[in-house]
Amino acid sequence: MLVHYALHQLTDYVNWTFFLFAWNIKPKFATVADVLATHDCPACREGWISGFPEEEQAEARETLRLYLDAQDRLRRLDEAGIKVHALFRRFPAYSEGDNIIVTHPDGSTLTLPFLRQQHQQTDRPNLCLSDFIAPKGYVDADHVADCLGAFAVSVDTVPELDNPDDPYERMLIQVLLDRMAEAATERFHQDIRTTHWGYAPHEALTQADLLAERYQGIRPAVGYPSIPDQSFNFLLRDLIPLDSVGISLTENGMMRPHASVSGLMFAHPASHYFAIGQVSDEQLSDYARRRGTTLEQMRKFVPKK
């Protein structure tokens, strides 16, 4: 399935804390989004600023200016027809050790190797994403085998990013587009859970619930803690047509445009986010073997911490 979102359809899903984090602004100032979403007037703006200690009011005022600039650019981009494009496909899948094997509609299979946590755990198992997919031959009470989802999201590029003479404007637009890609991913995942995949049809979560990840299932993204190998995008490209949402890959697996997100979706009720952490040479060598490459090559994508 392929979905196209206008920017105004995503504003309720934007995490403004992360937007401000990119500017080294403390999370407590992200309340500006909640306050002004309720009622935006000069009195409310000044009231929000005066709610901070005097020594923090200058930073609060700067945060307000940045937030208002972002809202202005977001409105302009929306009026210019900038959209976010989202792709999702679901595949029959089963686990085999630290691999997940997915089946294409034509019957061919693709093996997706993953890394497993190696650091010492005291009260929990060392996790791998393959743990959240049933092994081959397993069916549930409804005689249904397991499935794995794959997704990609990308935002249209805009001319402002090509302006070398205004670094503030370039950074403002880029960070805003990055947030819109993440917001689209949040909404897209919600739509998939409740409708398209439909494994959580009665979900009724607030924005705070979504940001706190209180939904069933996970959507680990490539390059994030549970899939730290950026070159995994090459495998993902073998699953779904990344170019259908305007994504191309560099020789190292980085996505273009920058405002893009790619990854997998798991529906298992026990699935949760985790970090792989430090990877030993022994594990990386095994991972490289399963990826069909060398240890030296994989060190470029999964550096030791």
Helix (H, G, I), strand (E, B) or coil at 148: strand
**C-beta of residue 242 within 8 angstroms of C-beta of residue 2:** no
pLDDT higher than 70, residue 89: yes
281 lies in some domain = yes
Length of the chain: 305
- The residue range of the domain holding 241 is 1-7+82-305
**pLDDT tens per residue, range 144-203:** 679 999 999 999 988 766 666 788 988 999 999 999 999 999 999 999 999 999 999 999
Distance of CA 91 to the CA centre of its chain: 20
Pairing type for strands 260-265 and 248-249 reads unpaired
Report which of 73, 59, 54 is spatially closest to residue 28, judged by C-alpha positions: 59
64 lies in some domain = no
pLDDT value of residue 144: 63
pLDDT value of residue 40: 82
Task: Give the span between the Cα atoms of 152 and 240, in whole angstroms.
Answer: 8
189 lies in some domain = yes
Split into its structural domains, the chain has a count of: 1
pLDDT value of residue 37: 80
47 lies in some domain = no
**C-beta of residue 152 within 8 angstroms of C-beta of residue 260:** yes
pLDDT higher than 70, residue 82: yes
CATH number at residue 117: 3.10.196.10
pLDDT value of residue 10: 96
73 lies in some domain = no
pLDDT value of residue 174: 93
187 lies in some domain = yes
pLDDT value of residue 143: 56
